[in-house]
């Protein structure tokens, strides 16, 4: 290996402040450079493509509001993932929790025909929360009582939740009028109202902001939040300090599942008005991107979900205008996730490139 330039990470004397501030913009620039190849492969001009992706959605009232519509489920799932990760609970199951929340919300929405509007809407949102929490319960119990890795169990329940949706839609819930695999429409009094005229922006956006606000307050300003952050940083130390880590994890997992479940309710009652097998386009997984990009802070979740909402709307128009498959947005999401975690490392470590001194025995290299 002599002669090869070895890349190592060396600890900085102090975390690089400038990188802390620059990490957001830098992440975006690096990600777009890394994904250039895909734009070229699609035969598009990168500058035009990225302008369509990022800038164009911000240039008209209609697309700007569509950005908020796309950001709505991500606000929920991003907050759900962030709060769990903060407590050291690796909930990778927001996707499944969202789907089960959507099922429960659809059930409620088709059974509250005569109720007053406020009651019906509350019932739908509440059912979504309960559905999501129920789906989060088993992995949380297994983690707390049996020490079974929640990453695996929450992941495995995602495909099961999707099968539950398609099973219902192909079976008992198949629409009796259209015979399509889609549920009946929920009753009109249960549908979330539009909050601005001539747009699809609905009550779910407001609910999401309220939840993010509450979580921000609880995390930063209450003793529960302090305990939660403490157990996330070091469960052993938290336990030593007398914090009931098990109960805290259980509570956080259920809260996280409930918020993801409301995301499902919000998509059913605010956008689709019925359950379909495409009710989520990976919002649960994108929530992980949102939470990580946002540095697991609630303010960060808002910014990151708006940015990804922008990207989703941009991807649709890039597909139509430039023939760049809208799946580019998914590639960018994955790349964003990888770039941001790598860049965050560089805040505390710097890269050094050097040629190892020739000759001598090289001690086990460990960059």
Partner 1 sequence: MSFVSDVLAATLRNATPLVYGTVGETYCERAGILNLGIEGTMYAGAFFGFLAAQTSGSLVVGLVTAIAVGLGSGVLMGVLTVTFGTNQHVAGLGTTLFLIGAADFANRLQFRGSQAQATIKPFGIVDVFGVDVLSQYAMTYVAFLVIVPLAWWVLMRTTLGLNIRAVGENPEAADAAGVSVARTRYLALMIGGALMGVGGAFFTLAALGSFTLNIIAGRGWVCIALVIFGRWRIGRGVVGALLFAFVYALQLRLRLIPSLAGVPFELLLALPYVVVIAALVLSGRNVAYPGAYLKPYRRA
**Which residues have a Cβ under 8 Å from the Cβ of 344 and sit 6 or more positions away?**
23
CA 196, 198, 201, 202 torsion: positive or negative? positive
d(CA 323, CA 60): 21
Measured CA distances, 62 to 65, 139, 261, 319 (Å): 5, 41, 28, 18
Could you tell me the end-to-end alpha-carbon distance of the chain, in angstroms, rounded to an integer? 14
Which positions lie near partner 1, rule CB under 8 A?
A: 7, 9, 38, 41-42, 90, 92, 138, 142, 146-149, 151-153, 155-160, 163-164, 166-168, 170-172, 285, 288-289, 292, 325, 327-335, 337-338, 341-342, 344-345, 363-367
Q: What is the closest distance, in whole angstroms, from the C-beta atom of residue 164 to partner 1 in the complex?
A: 7
Q: Which is nearer to partner 1, 211 or 288 (CB)?
A: 288
Q: Which is nearer to partner 1, 101 or 204 (CB)?
A: 101
The total number of residues shown for the chain amounts to 367
Q: What is the closest distance, in whole angstroms, from the C-beta atom of residue 201 to partner 1 in the complex?
A: 27
Measured CA distances, 54 to 58, 59, 62, 105, 112 (Å): 8, 10, 15, 33, 41
Q: Which is nearer to partner 1, 65 or 168 (CB)?
A: 168
Q: Which is nearer to partner 1, 20 or 334 (CB)?
A: 334
Tokens of 324: 């760049």
d(CA 108, CA 123): 6
Q: What is the closest distance, in whole angstroms, from the C-beta atom of residue 118 to partner 1 in the complex?
A: 35
Q: Which is nearer to partner 1, 211 or 260 (CB)?
A: 260
Tokens of 225: 């939040």
Contact 289, 333 (CB under 8 A): yes
**Which residues have a Cβ under 8 Å from the Cβ of 327 and sit 6 or more positions away?**
315
Q: What is the closest distance, in whole angstroms, from the C-beta atom of residue 320 to partner 1 in the complex?
A: 13
Q: Which is nearer to partner 1, 90 or 205 (CB)?
A: 90
Q: Which is nearer to partner 1, 254 or 337 (CB)?
A: 337
Q: What is the closest distance, in whole angstroms, from the C-beta atom of residue 168 to partner 1 in the complex?
A: 8
Q: Which is nearer to partner 1, 88 or 270 (CB)?
A: 88
Q: What is the closest distance, in whole angstroms, from the C-beta atom of residue 125 to partner 1 in the complex?
A: 26
Q: What is the closest distance, in whole angstroms, from the C-beta atom of residue 138 to partner 1 in the complex?
A: 8
Q: What is the closest distance, in whole angstroms, from the C-beta atom of residue 82 to partner 1 in the complex?
A: 12
Q: What is the closest distance, in whole angstroms, from the C-beta atom of residue 345 to partner 1 in the complex?
A: 5
Q: Which is nearer to partner 1, 83 or 125 (CB)?
A: 83
Q: Which is nearer to partner 1, 212 or 328 (CB)?
A: 328
Q: What is the closest distance, in whole angstroms, from the C-beta atom of residue 63 to partner 1 in the complex?
A: 23
């Amino acid at each position: 290996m002599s002669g090869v330039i070895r890349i190592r990470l060396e600890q900085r004397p102090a975390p690089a402040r400038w990188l802390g501030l620059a990490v957001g913009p830098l992440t975006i620039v690096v990600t777009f450079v890394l994904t250039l190849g895909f734009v070229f492969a699609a035969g598009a001009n990168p500058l035009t493509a990225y302008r369509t992706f990022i800038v164009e959605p911000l240039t008209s009232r209609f697309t700007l509001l569509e950005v908020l519509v796309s950001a709505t489920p991500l606000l929920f799932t991003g907050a759900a993932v962030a709060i769990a990760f903060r407590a050291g609970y690796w909930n990778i199951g927001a996707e499944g929790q969202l789907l089960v929340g959507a099922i429960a919300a659809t059930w409620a929405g088709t059974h509250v025909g005569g109720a007053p509007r406020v009651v019906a809407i509350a019932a739908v949102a509440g059912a979504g929360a309960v559905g999501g929490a129920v789906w989060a319960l088993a992995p949380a119990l297994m983690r707390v009582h049996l020490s079974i890795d929640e990453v695996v169990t929450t992941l495995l329940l995602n495909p099961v939740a999707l099968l539950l949706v398609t099973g219902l839609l192909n079976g008992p819930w198949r629409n009796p009028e259209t015979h399509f695999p889609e549920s009946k429409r929920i009753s009109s009094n249960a549908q979330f109202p539009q909050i601005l005229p001539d747009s699809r922006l609905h009550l779910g956006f407001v609910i999401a902001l309220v939840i993010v606000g509450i979580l921000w307050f609880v995390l930063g300003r209450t003793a529960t939040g302090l305990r939660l952050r403490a157990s996330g940083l070091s469960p052993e130390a938290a336990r030593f300090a007398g914090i009931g880590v098990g109960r805290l994890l259980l509570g956080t997992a259920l809260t996280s599942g409930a918020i993801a479940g409301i995301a499902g309710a919000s998509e059913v009652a605010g956008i689709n008005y019925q359950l379909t097998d495409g009710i989520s386009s990976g919002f649960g997984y994108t929530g992980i991107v949102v939470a990580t990009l946002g540095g697991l802070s609630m303010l960060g979740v808002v910014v990151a979900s708006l940015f990804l909402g922008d990207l989703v709307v941009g991807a649709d128009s890039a597909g139509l205008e430039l023939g760049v498959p809208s799946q580019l947005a998914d590639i960018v999401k994955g790349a964003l996730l990888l770039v941001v975690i790598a860049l965050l490392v560089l805040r505390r470590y710097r890269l050094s490139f050097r040629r190892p001194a020739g000759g001598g025995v090289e001690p086990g290299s460990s960059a």
